[in-house]
Structure 1
Amino acid sequence: MAKPRKKGPQKTVQIYCAKCKEQLYKYKKGGKGALVKCFKERIVEDYTMSEGICPNCNQQFARDALIRGAPALKMIGGKVNMK
Structure 2
Amino acid sequence: MAKPNKKGPVRTIDIFCANCSQPLFKYRKGGKGALVKCFVERIVKNHTRDNLHCPNCEQEFARSTLIRGTPALKFVGGKVRFK
**TM surpasses 0.5:** yes
* Identity within the alignment, %: 64
Q: Which aligned pairs between 1:1-83 and structure 2 lie closer than 5 A?
A: 1-83=1-83
For the residue of structure 2 that corresponds to 1:41, the secondary structure is helix
RMSD of equivalent CA atoms: 0.7
Unaligned runs of 5+ in 2: none
Contact kept, 8 Å, 2:6 with 2:42, in 1: the verdict is no
How many Å apart are 1:7 and its aligned residue?
Answer: 3.0
Q: Can you list the C-alpha shifts for 1:41-78, whole angstroms capped at 9, x where unaligned?
A: 00000000122100000000000000011000001110
Letter in 2 for 1:59: Q
Distance in 2 between residues matched to 1:23 and 1:7, nearest whole Å: 23
CA distance in 1, matches of 2:79, 2:60: 8
Size of the aligned set, in residue pairs, is 83
Q: Specify the SS of the correspondent of 1:19.
A: coil
TM-score after normalising by structure 1: 0.97
Partner Cα separation in structure 2 for residue 59 and residue 11 of structure 1: 27
